[in-house]
Amino acid sequence: MSSGATLTATDYITHHLTNLKVGSGFWSFHLDTLIISGGLGLLVFLFLASVAGKATSGVPKGWQNFFEMVLSFVNQQVKDTYHGNHPLVAPLAITIFVWIFAMNAMDLIPVDFLPWAAQHASGNHHLPFKFVPTTDPNLTFAMSITVFLIMIYMNFKVKGFGGFMHEVFTAPFGPKLAPINFLFRVIEDIAKPISLSLRLFGNMYAGEMVFILIALLGLYQLPLALPWALFHILIITLQAFVFMMLTIVYMSMASESH
C-alpha cells in the first residue's frame, strides 16, 4: 500500500486483514469479498463457456485437454464416493472445486498489489481491501450453509419425509432412545457446516497471514516468498479438493439409509 512506510507492523497487518464494509452490525456487507468472489465466478464461467464453445470431438488440446482432465478427475471422485444417481451431485462438486480453487489462487498475488490498485482507483489511500475471499468466514460459512441446505433437500428428496424422520429418531440406537438419537443427529448436522467452513477459512487465513508477515521483511521477502508461494499452490488445491470431497460425502450420506 502506498502509505505502508508510515504504518507500524501492527497497523500494516490490521489494514490488510480488514474488509471493505458497508452497513453495520449483522447487516454489514463485505464489498471486497462480494466483488472478488462474484467477479471470479463470472470470469471462470465465461472462460469455461469459451473453452466449451471451441471444443472439438477429436484429440483435445490446450485448455480443452486440461479441463477435460479436471472434469474426469472430479467425476471419478463422485462415482467412487456417491452411490446414488442424482444429477445434481457431479455439477455441484465441479462448481465447488473450480470456484474455490480460483478464489484460493488469489492468495498467490502479491499482498500489496490489489489493495494498492483499489486505493488508487477510489482515491482513498487508506481504503481497506481483502482480495482473498476464502479468508473471510462470511463467505466460507455461506458456502457451507448452502451445502447443508442441499444436503437436507437430498434427505427429503431421496428418503421422503417419513423415511428421513424415521432415520433421525431411530439411528443409531433404535426407536426406544428416540430423544437421544434426535439430539445426536442435530449435533452431527450442525457440526458439518461449521467444520466445513472453518477448515477452509482457517487454512487460507493462516496462509494469507504468512504472506503478510513475509511482506514486512522488505528486501528479505523474495527468498521466502517464492518457496512459500510454491508450497501454497499445494495448499490452495488441497483445500478446494477437501471442500469438494466432504460435500460429496455429505450428499452420499443424505442419499443412503442407515
Helix 62-81 and helix 31-53, axial crossing angle in degrees, nearest 10? 110
Cell of 188: 452431527
Q: In terms of Cα–Cα distance, which of 145, 251, 252, 152 is closest to 195?
A: 145
Interatomic CA distance for residues 140 and 249, integer angstroms: 18
How far is 2 from 28, CA to CA, in rounded Å?
27
Of 36, 239, 221, 5, residue with least CA distance to 130 = 36
What are the grid coordinates assigned to 218, written together? Answer: 522488505
Listed residue (152, 134, 147) closest to 200, CA to CA: 134
Please identify every residue annotated as catalytic: 195, 199, 203
